[in-house]
Amino acid sequence: MAVVAGAAALGARSARSHVITFDGVTKRYADGTVAVNDLHLEIPTGEITVLVGPSGCGKTTSLRMVNRMIDASEGKILLDGVDVQTIDPPTLRRGIGYVIQQAGLFPHRKIVDNVATVPYLLGWDKRKARTRAMELLERVGLDAGLAERYPFQLSGGQQQRVGVARALAADPPVLLMDEPFSAVDPVVRADLQDELIRLQNELNKTIVFVTHDIDEAVKLGDRVAVLRVGGTLAQVDDPETMLARPADDFVREFLGGDRGIRRLSFVPADLPLRGDLTVPIDAEVSEAAGAAASSAVSWLAVVDGEGRPRGWVSTEGLPPAGKVADLRLLPYGTFEVNGGSLRSALDAALLAPSGCAIAVDADGKVAGVATREELARATAKVAADGAAQPAPAEQAAQSEQAVPAEGAGRG
Amino acid sequence: MDEEPLIRWDWIGRNWPNIQSLLADHVVMAVLPVVFALLIALPLGLASVRWRWLYQPTVGVMNVVYSLPSLAVFIVLIPVTGLAERATVIVPLTFYALAVLIPAVVDGVASVPAHVRQSAVAMGFRPLRRLVSVELPIAVPVVLAGVRVATVSSISLVSVGALVGRGGLGYLFIDGWQRQFPTPIVVGIVLVVLLAVAADGLLVAAQRVLTPWSRARRAA
Amino acid sequence: MNWLIEFFTDPANWSGSSGIPVRLLEHLEFSAAALLLSVLIAVPLGLWVGHTGKGALFVVVSANAARALPTLGLLVLIVLLMGVGTTLPVLIPLVALAVPPILVNTYEGIRGVEHDLRDAAYGMGLRGGQVLLRVLVPVALPLILLGVRVAAIQVVATATVAAYVGLGGLGRYIIDGLATKDFPSTIGGAVLVALLALAVQLMFTLLGRMVVSPGVRPAVRERLKAG
């Protein structure tokens, strides 16, 4: 399968420019252990490629061979067509951003000087390097007041942001990130992941990202490469395709049990919305009963004066008189009408006793209601698409098209 | 001088009983300070762990004591403990050993991983029981490392006491110098070093017996 | 106490070749020479061993063995064999005493720098020498300075013993006093040496404040973390 995935990528070569190419790369240690085995992989420019797999799959080794922290035993790694083996390691590394797990900040230097490390190495003048560093601190969402502090005075999440800023300091086109977020707690990790997505939307770097966390891989990756123990490539695809069509049992198992649901994150919620299933909160109960009767439903979404959702009401057993406001409001969920994923719509439906999802616009105003029936129809369509197995070449072409949709799914 | 060999073996033979008694005296003066210091450092170090504010002043005082030259302290003590008495040597060496052992005890207890301590608490150990059966055993390697340093330094320092009339094997240095005769000096140096190596070896062996788990870890 | 006052107020002790200023200067002179020589030997060696990992076992074993060497014995033996003509025979045992703590601390300091830090430094494109000088040395500096401080204090204290084989320095008051049963001189000399050792200790504390980055200074880190 590794060969097939590699071939698929090679087939698409003419279509995009590849910044990093692994060409039959093997890393064998003196004691005979093989960390990476005949790896063929194309890392496209301007995208995040995630290397993911269990420990011992050679993902970190593969990453570290790019900036020659480790040298390959066989095969070649090309950076913009140039064999990295022909470039002097320090020179090579100064042109590649590098972020590691514990950030690895220099404890004896202030934050601003940490960020300016590579510019100093490249011989920029001090003022220019520091100005650049301040810019980057702001860019990664850190307060300028932290610049004069020392690393030990920052939290783990802040240190990791500094680590990213430091890697970006000399504006390298390529960024290598080795499990950068795995040492922080889940809440901070989610923040850092969102921040990276935001940054990437502005910067369009070529990023190679190593993680053992498949959820992180699916969230961040434009493309995901799954490696298996022994250092062979199991599959490389965009996350949606991978979730829909894992190459083999190993990938299927690695993706986890709920990949069907997770895949819906990548499907936009293009659902027909109904405008007749809402009732204003200041309406009379009798009006609500009339609306329900004419639409032949037993639930209505209650909307306040500003158009925001307030809850669901059951139209069965309504009192003869009174206001809608006096009725018992039941819980609800919403999804964004532009850019929301099918998964978020389904989630919204599961939160409400009505089984329907309320669509809202960017301002949080109700745009309509997606019914159970429409949700069921949409998920059934996704399931049908996933079942149809196209040929590998087509698969690669589809990955290409899936990228914008996936970008929208994140928003 | 030119004809004088570095070592005259016959001198050693003739003076062997004397050398033996110097060696015994040396051992007593070197070992007692470490034993006393350990007896004092354990409660003091544990108190410093229990009450953190005690640690800085204790270590501060010990640092000052440690920086005092041994010869100077021997001399200042002469009016109190007397010239050529064992106590004149043992008292200052006890302080030097303390300066090494108090931080060793504190570091040793601090070396107990937080998760181990917390699981001991969670399982219901009371503080004293926890100290004796969990924390102290884990602290043994660090404390023993301190004991090794203190013992070796103590063995080497005793000889300075010869200048105030009681230095165990150090007497051989004075004797050799006064008679411009290298044999006793060489014998003294060799015996002091051998004594230190033997003591160190014993302590390493003791550590292996006391902490079989750390041996396994080191091998891994 | 009276002895001490007597010693320090005697004008004869403040002038001439056996006066306190001259003795102090002599003492400082060969202490400084021994320390400088030791630093020049031990720091580069410690940096090299710590950075490359070569010869680590040799460093640890020889430093432990050197700690067992009795300085007094070494001193009298070397002076006996080489004569008192120069200060070199005195410097040898002092250097033998001072090298181990500097060597071990330098080596441990460099070796103890977190692996991630080295990794990050190389990963950003620092060359081997730059990693050593710009990252490892500044981070290991507190430990290296501690080694030099311990060595300095031992040298100052042991230089006293040099008076026994006829050298100058503050030890003269002690040794001569012992020989002539002049206790005011003996005790006065002992107090002077102790004061000098404390001054050296203080000087190194101040030096540490000046050259060690607040980012790696343990006391500062503790305080700022608490605050």
**A48 burial via Cβ count (<10 Å: 0-12, 13-18, 19+):** buried
C50–chain A nearest CA distance, Å: 18
Residue carrying structure tokens 């108090």: B102
Lowest mean pLDDT segment, chosen from A176-190, B108-122, B194-208: B108-122
Compute the distance between CA of residue C171 and CA of residue C193 in angstroms, rounded to an integer.
Answer: 8
Domain shared by A90 and A213, yes or no: yes
Q: Which residue of A has its CA nearest to C137?
A: A108
Strand-pairing partners, residue A144, are none
Are the C-beta atoms of A359 and A284 separated by less than 8 Å?
no
Tokens encoding A405: 């949709």
> Alpha helices of A95-213 — where are they, by DSSP H?
111-115, 117-121, 126-139, 156-168, 186-203
- A356 belongs to a structural domain: yes
Q: Where are the beta strands (DSSP E) in A173-296?
A: 174-178, 206-211, 223-228, 232-237, 278-280
Are the C-beta atoms of A268 and A341 separated by less than 8 Å?
yes
Residue B208 has pLDDT above 70, yes or no: yes
Chain C residues whose beta carbon lies within 8 Å of the beta carbon of residue B186 = 77
For residue C136, the number of C-alpha atoms closer than 13 Å in the C-beta half-sphere is 27
Chain B residues whose beta carbon lies within 8 Å of the beta carbon of residue C69 = 156, 189, 192-193
What does the DSSP 8-state code read for residue B135? I
Q: Do A100 and C225 touch (CB under 8 A)?
A: no
Compute the distance between CA of residue B114 and CA of residue B133 in angstroms, rounded to an integer.
Answer: 16
Domain shared by A326 and A253, yes or no: no
Are the C-beta atoms of A44 and A205 separated by less than 8 Å?
no
Task: Report the CATH number at residue C34.
Answer: 1.10.3720.10
For the residues B135-139, what does the mean pLDDT come to?
87
Residue numbers of B between 65 and 124 with CB closer than 8 Å to C = 66-73, 75-76, 78-79
How would you classify the pairing of strands A34-44 and A82-83?
unpaired
- pTM, two decimals, is 0.78
How many Cβ contacts (< 8 angstroms) between chains A and C? 79
Local confidence band at B78 (pLDDT 50, 70, 90 cut-offs): confident
Domain shared by A52 and A197, yes or no: yes
C212–chain A nearest CA distance, Å: 8
Q: Is B163 on the interface with C (CB under 8 A)?
A: yes
Residue numbers of C between 116 and 155 with CB closer than 8 Å to B = 153
In one letter, which amino acid is A187? V
Task: Report the CATH number at residue A252.
Answer: 3.40.50.300
Domain shared by A261 and A297, yes or no: no
Could you count the other beta carbons within 10 Å of the beta carbon of residue A367? Answer: 19
What does each C-alpha distance from A210 to A98, A181, A239, A276, A290 come to in angstroms? 12, 10, 15, 49, 58
Are the C-beta atoms of A402 and A266 separated by less than 8 Å?
yes
Are the C-beta atoms of B158 and B87 separated by less than 8 Å?
no
Chain B residues whose beta carbon lies within 8 Å of the beta carbon of residue C197 = 67-69
Q: Which of B71, B74, B191, B200 to mutate to test the interface with C (most CBs of C within 10 A)?
A: B71
Chain B residues whose beta carbon lies within 8 Å of the beta carbon of residue C191 = 72, 76
Domain shared by A230 and A360, yes or no: no
Q: Is B178 on the interface with C (CB under 8 A)?
A: no
B97–chain C nearest CA distance, Å: 14
Domain shared by A69 and A200, yes or no: yes
Q: Do B185 and C201 touch (CB under 8 A)?
A: no
- A116 belongs to a structural domain: no
What SS3 string covers chain C?
A: CHHHHHHHHCHHHHCCCCCHHHHHHHHHHHHHHHHHHHHHHHHHHHHHHHHHCCCHHHHHHHHHHHHHCCHHHHHHHHHHHHCCCCCHHHHHHHHHHHHHHHHHHHHHHHHCCCHHHHHHHHHCCCCHHHHHHHHHHHHHHHHHHHHHHHHHHHHHHHHHHHHHHCCCCCHHHHHHHHHHCCHHHHHHHHHHHHHHHHHHHHHHHHHHHHHCCCCCCHHHHHHHHHC
Q: Is B169 on the interface with C (CB under 8 A)?
A: yes
Q: Do C80 and B185 touch (CB under 8 A)?
A: yes
Are the C-beta atoms of B184 and B176 separated by less than 8 Å?
yes
B7–chain C nearest CA distance, Å: 12
Compute the distance between CA of residue A270 and CA of residue A92 in angstroms, rounded to an integer.
Answer: 46
C214–chain A nearest CA distance, Å: 7
Contacts of C10 (CB under 8 A, 6+ apart): none
Compute the distance between CA of residue C121 and CA of residue A105 in angstroms, rounded to an integer.
Answer: 9
Q: Which residue of C has its CA nearest to A104?
A: C117
How many structural domains comprise chain A?
2
- A401 belongs to a structural domain: no
Compute the distance between CA of residue B109 and CA of residue B112 in angstroms, rounded to an integer.
Answer: 6
Q: Which of A106, A152, A159, A160 to mutate to test the interface with C (most CBs of C within 10 A)?
A: A106
Q: Do C116 and A104 touch (CB under 8 A)?
A: yes
Residue numbers of B between 184 and 213 with CB closer than 8 Å to C = 185-186, 188-189, 192-193, 196-197, 200
Compute the distance between CA of residue B144 and CA of residue B135 in angstroms, rounded to an integer.
Answer: 14
Compute the distance between CA of residue B5 and CA of residue B2 in angstroms, rounded to an integer.
Answer: 8
Are the C-beta atoms of A20 and A69 separated by less than 8 Å?
no
pLDDT in tens, chain A (411 residues): 333 343 333 334 334 455 899 999 999 998 888 999 999 999 999 999 999 999 889 999 999 999 999 999 999 999 988 999 999 999 999 999 999 988 889 999 999 999 999 999 999 999 999 999 999 999 999 999 999 999 999 998 999 999 999 999 999 999 999 999 988 889 999 999 999 999 999 999 999 999 999 989 999 999 999 999 888 999 999 998 888 888 999 998 888 878 788 888 888 888 888 888 888 888 888 888 888 888 888 888 988 888 899 988 888 878 888 888 888 888 898 998 888 889 899 988 998 888 899 999 988 898 889 988 898 988 888 888 766 554 444 344 344 333 333 333 333
B220–chain C nearest CA distance, Å: 18
Q: Name the percent of chain C lying above pLDDT 90.
A: 37
Domain range for A48: 2-95+173-266
How many structural domains comprise chain C?
1
B148–chain C nearest CA distance, Å: 10
Domain shared by A236 and A288, yes or no: no
Q: Which residue of C has its CA nearest to A105?
A: C117
Q: Do A107 and C117 touch (CB under 8 A)?
A: yes
Last residue of a domain, one of A266, A292, A308: A266
Compute the distance between CA of residue A77 and CA of residue A62 in angstroms, rounded to an integer.
Answer: 10
Q: Which residue of A has its CA nearest to C227?
A: A153
Q: What is the mean pLDDT of chain C?
A: 86
Domains by residue range for chain B, with CATH: 10-213 (1.10.3720.10)
A98–chain C nearest CA distance, Å: 6
Q: Which residue of C has its CA nearest to B1?
A: C81
Indicate contact of B with C: 3+ CB pairs under 8 A: yes
Compute the distance between CA of residue C122 and CA of residue C115 in angstroms, rounded to an integer.
Answer: 11
Q: Which of C72, C174, C178 sits opposite B159 (nearest CB)?
A: C72
Question: Which pLDDT belongs to residue B220?
Answer: 35
Tokens encoding B46: 């544990």
Residue carrying structure tokens 């350990």: B38
Tokens encoding C184: 């005011």
Task: Report the CATH number at residue A333.
Answer: 3.10.580.10
Secondary element (H or E) of residue A363: none
Domain shared by A301 and A199, yes or no: no
Compute the distance between CA of residue B46 and CA of residue B50 in angstroms, rounded to an integer.
Answer: 6
> pLDDT tens digits for C64-77?
778 888 988 998 99
CA torsion sign for A53, A55, A58, A63 is positive
Domain range for C111: 2-226
Domain shared by A262 and A282, yes or no: no
> What residues of chain A have any CB closer than 8 angstroms to a CB in chain C?
67, 69, 89-95, 98, 100-110, 117-118, 121, 150-153, 163, 166, 176
For the residues C43-58, what does the mean pLDDT come to?
91
Domain shared by A51 and A198, yes or no: yes
Q: Do C224 and A92 touch (CB under 8 A)?
A: no
Lowest mean pLDDT segment, chosen from A312-316, B191-195, C120-124, C214-218: C214-218
Question: Which pLDDT belongs to residue A161?
Answer: 93
Contacts of A143 (CB under 8 A, 6+ apart): A137
Please state at what angle helix C88-111 crosses helix C20-52, rounded to 10 degrees: 40
Tokens encoding C87: 């200060």
Chain C residues whose beta carbon lies within 8 Å of the beta carbon of residue B152 = 64, 67-68
What does each C-alpha distance from B35 to B31, B107, B203 come to in angstroms? 6, 19, 13
Lowest mean pLDDT segment, chosen from A150-159, B12-21, B50-59: B50-59
> pLDDT tens digits for C185-210?
888 888 898 899 889 989 998 999 99
Chain B residues whose beta carbon lies within 8 Å of the beta carbon of residue C199 = none
Could you count the other beta carbons within 10 Å of the beta carbon of residue C44? Answer: 12
Tokens encoding A152: 């030990």
Contacts of A301 (CB under 8 A, 6+ apart): A277, A278, A279, A309, A311, A312, A332, A354, A356, A358, A366, A369
Domain shared by A239 and A209, yes or no: yes
Q: Which of A96, A108, A149 to mutate to test the interface with C (most CBs of C within 10 A)?
A: A108
Q: Do C201 and B75 touch (CB under 8 A)?
A: no
Compute the distance between CA of residue A42 and CA of residue A9 in angstroms, rounded to an integer.
Answer: 7
Report helix, strand or coil for A131: helix
- Tell which residue, C99, C87, C89, C83, has the closest CA to residue C37: C99
State the complex-level ipTM.
0.83
How would you classify the pairing of strands A74-79 and A18-28?
antiparallel
Q: Which of B75, B187, B194 to mutate to test the interface with C (most CBs of C within 10 A)?
A: B75
Q: Which residue of C has its CA nearest to A154?
A: C225
Domain shared by A219 and A245, yes or no: yes
Are the C-beta atoms of A279 and A298 separated by less than 8 Å?
no
Q: Which residue of A has its CA nearest to C130?
A: A121
> What residues of chain C have any CB closer than 8 angstroms to a CB in chain A?
114, 116-117, 119-127, 130, 135, 138-139, 141, 213-216, 221, 224-225
